[in-house]
Amino acid sequence: MKNSLNREIPDELLKDGIEVFQGAYARENYEYKKDAPTVKANVASGDSKLVDSIKAAIEQAGLKDGMTISFHHHLRNGDYVCAKVMDVIHEMGIKDLFVCASSLGKAHANMVPMIEDGTVTGISTSGVRDEIGEALSMGKLKHPAWIRTHGGRVRAIETGQVHIDVAFIAASSSDVLGNASGKNGRHDCGVLSYADVDAKYADKVVVITDTINPVPNFPAPIQAVDVDYVVKIDQIGDPAKIASGALRLTKDVRELKMAENCAKVVANTPWFKEGFSFQTGAGGASLAVTQFLKPYMDERDIRMGWGMGGITEPMVQMFREGYIDKLINDQAFDIPSVESVYNDSNHFEISCSQYANPMNKGAFVNYLDYVILGALEVDTDFNVNVVQGSDGMIQGAPGGHPDTAAGAKCTIIVAPLIRSRLSTVRRQVTSVTTPGETVDVVVTDYGVAVNPARKDILEALEQTDLPLISIEELADIAESITGTPAPLEFEDKVVALIEYRDGTIIDVIKKPILK
């Protein structure tokens, strides 16, 4: 069956209530009853919840073949906990597990042989990179992987589409009762936003930390009332590696020029006024936009009401310089943002449901004025791909991309027209992550294209000296430089489903034929 973007979704995948994508806002006013965990009451015991080892916690939690387990990725490439837990599970011989992770990357490469031997047979994640991305692309996972947005993962858990049997939560600190935090420890990750839903909806919750503080370890985003066991290990991870991966600051002249034009787009659209709200992605040009906004804010004598993310050092700098009233944090992308959420008042931790769940009563993304995002590919319908490389391999993350694009009043994509001799703007993306109806402006080094559906933005930008150009003209220029890209070849085997934030299937990824 084809969905509303004309992407073919195999009928055999449309089961258990799964439907094809029908439009970004098709499920407005959708009603559902929330899932609930099975809770083992602690009526009389005042005992510590500390257990001796990860293995002991797994045994007491009753983990067995066929269950669903979960992890979060706040330590990003510095995460040690997921790998340690999976090694123990592998040694115990437990098989056929479904791993529901908020993201997977290089730190989780030890999972690849477990995919190959059947320890792990299903995966849900908001990001896949490096060795695991290669394994999924090659169809090594028994069942197609679920690629979900950050908000979509919370929705899937809260609606019961995914029910977690045992959640393993890496925490920078905890007390013996399980009041846990991303702060106050030897290895801080800042916030535990993605683990909030795991703690509230999993049947068993295991907190793993390297720092036990006296009771109560407050403030505690993970509360003891949701925690069954606490395990102390030598080291949960290396915060120095939080900032690795997608995050980077740029000195590239081309990217800086795109960032300058992007800031000009923001400054010349109607929502740029006192108290505006803003989020930016982690790409080089996206991050640089923040610095180019300052002169415009000075000129208008305005301040940002709140900035959200994915908080990064440039946002922290603007906050400390007085350009931003409040920071709202669902993920600390680097050490300065970890330190800021620890030290700065008016820098607040929120849950991922508060951040982006499309099925609650109003996530923060729905109140964004601006979001600045990157892209691997953009097509002439403004559809965006941030998951699948132009070689067909899975190497990216939807993260909050579709969530924020759908919620913001003005969604701006910043990307170079050509990247490594491959065109970013093309007739059709390899796969759709974010639908074009939620993308308003594309800023490239060859011009700025406005979605024709946003006549209000186009009329505003026509009053500026920005190099406006149609998206079709951008594709023409790209093809004149790179030539028309030969279509990729794929086998029929579906290796991953790309789920839109509302639970419908926006696209699928098939196994590429490598040459």
Cis peptide before 216 (omega within 30 of 0): yes
Give me the count of residues in the chain: 515
Per DSSP (E only), the strands in 23-112 are 50-51, 68-71, 97-101
pLDDT at 420: 84
pLDDT at 248: 60
Q: Which one-letter DSSP state was computed for residue 448?
A: E
Residue 509, sorted as left (phi over 0), alpha (psi -120 to 50) or beta, turns out to be: beta
C-alpha span between 388 and 396 (Å, rounded): 6
pLDDT tens per residue, the chain (515 residues)? 999 999 999 999 999 999 999 999 999 999 999 999 999 999 987 888 999 999 999 999 999 999 999 999 999 999 999 999 999 999 999 999 999 999 999 999 999 999 999 999 999 999 998 999 999 999 999 999 999 999 999 999 999 999 999 999 999 999 999 999 999 999 999 999 999 999 999 999 999 999 999 999 999 999 999 999 999 999 999 999 987 655 566 778 999 999 999 999 999 999 999 999 999 977 778 888 998 999 999 999 999 999 998 899 999 999 999 999 999 999 998 999 999 998 999 999 999 999 999 999 999 999 999 999 999 999 999 999 999 998 899 999 999 999 999 999 999 999 999 998 899 999 999 999 999 999 999 999 999 999 999 999 999 999 999 999 999 999 999 999 999 888 899 999 999 999 999 999 999 999 999 87
**Structure pTM?**
0.96
Sheet holding 370-373, edge to edge: 347-349, 324-332, 304-311, 276-280, 370-373, 410-414, 441-444, 447-450
Q: Given 3-state DSSP classes, what are the helix, strand and coil percentages for the chain, each rounded to the nearest 5?
A: 30, 25, 45
Q: Do 198 and 131 form a contact (C-beta atoms < 8 A)? A: no
C-alpha span between 355 and 207 (Å, rounded): 23
Q: Which amino acid is at 341?
A: V
Q: Do 278 and 373 form a contact (C-beta atoms < 8 A)? A: no
Q: What are the residue ranges of helices labelled H in 64-215?
A: 81-92, 111-116, 130-137, 150-159, 195-201
SS3 264: helix
Signed CA dihedral, 411, 412, 415, 418: sign only: positive
* Tokens of residue 58, six digits: 């797994």
Q: Do 30 and 359 form a contact (C-beta atoms < 8 A)? A: yes
Q: What are the residue ranges of helices labelled H in 138-228?
A: 150-159, 195-201
